[in-house]
Amino acid sequence: MPPLNLVGDFGGGALYLAFGLLAGVIHARSTGQGQVIDCAMSDGAASLMAMFYGFKAAGMWNEGRRSNLLDGGAHFYDTYECSDGKWISIGSIEPQFYLLLLEKTGITDPQFQHQMSREEWPQLREKLAAVIQTKTQAEWCAIMDATDVCFAPVLTMDEAPSHAHNAARQTFVEVAGVTQPAPAPRFSATPGAIQGPPPKIGGHNDEALADWGFSPAAIDALKASGAL
């Protein structure tokens, strides 16, 4: 499935541009010299792949679908369906987290001791999937929440705001009747806040046109003609 437009537009584009602009400001303040910031979404998306190109160069990554550590190939880093049709995610990579995963799922099968055996990953995933299918999402949350399993329920957009962690951190806010993510990151001295809903179409026509040099009479004429 396409990963929304988070990788290109937002991750590889907007965030890299913001980072570049802020770095440019720091450089200008320290040296008195400005510079051009050349930011392309394709460059940013490629940059986000740096770790995986490193893995490939080290012989730790191949291009087979779902055959690697972080692409769903490993049984301990994947999403699993529960008995109620809902899903959970597991990311128990480090040995101590993996041992805790086995403990919380009640798995004693000795084959699971071969955590990093790629040849056994498909069979181990099938076995783990069968175990996860024995309980509901809520039951697994009761067992694994607040532990170091590296576990989380897969939530819908409607469910995410009311999750205990998000609620405690006020990760989502409601503005003008619309539930939406709060500004991030957070600043202690200059905390951010959503200033209000977007303006209605034409709500700032007079201000914008005046800023562009239109006289009040010209603006009235545009209104009278139906252009605005």
In order, the DSSP letters of 74-93 are STTEEEEE-TTS-EEEEE--
Q: What is the CA radius of gyration of the chain?
A: 25
The predicted structure's pLDDT at residue 224: 95
| Beta strands, E only, 26-137 | 77-81, 87-91
pLDDT at 57: 97
Pair 169, 181: CB distance under 8 Å: no
pLDDT block averages, 10 residues each, the chain of length 228 = 89 96 97 97 96 96 93 97 98 98 98 97 98 98 96 97 96 95 96 89 93 96 94
Instruction: Give the CATH number of domain 66-183; options: 3.40.50.300, 3.40.47.10, 3.40.50.360, 3.30.1540.10.
Output: 3.30.1540.10
What pLDDT was estimated at residue 143?
A: 98
| Integer angstrom CA distances of residue 218 from 73, 214, 221 | 65, 6, 5
Q: What is the pLDDT of residue 1?
A: 77
Strands 87-91 and 178-181: unpaired
User: What's the whole-model pTM score?
Assistant: 0.84
Q: Which residues make up the CATH 3.30.1540.10 domain(s) of the chain?
A: 66-183
